[in-house]
Amino acid sequence: MSAEEQDRLIATIAKNLGSIKSNENKILETRQFYAADHEYGERVAKALGLNMDDIR
């Protein structure tokens, strides 16, 4: 994906996961992204305002 496509993907994920009230669910989902690709997971975590210590 291009950098712009990656940015849009992160924004879309953050918007949708951000609507979930449970931080536990956000963390669980973000861990899956992190497991697939560390940078991807870190970008999602940052967009959601999550602590990376909870993700790793």
Q: How far apart are CA 56 and CA 48, in angstroms?
A: 15
Question: Is residue 34 within 8 Å of residue 40, measured between CB atoms?
Answer: yes
Q: What are the counts of helices (DSSP H) followed by strands (DSSP E) for the chain?
A: 4, 0
Question: Is residue 47 within 8 Å of residue 10, measured between CB atoms?
Answer: yes
Alpha-carbon torsion angle 22, 45, 16, 28, nearest 10: -50
The pTM is what? Answer: 0.90
Q: What is the pLDDT of residue 41?
A: 96
Residue-wise pLDDT tens digits, 12-54: 999 999 999 999 999 999 999 999 999 999 999 999 999 999 9
2 — pLDDT class (breaks 50, 70, 90):
very high
Q: What is the pLDDT of residue 49?
A: 95
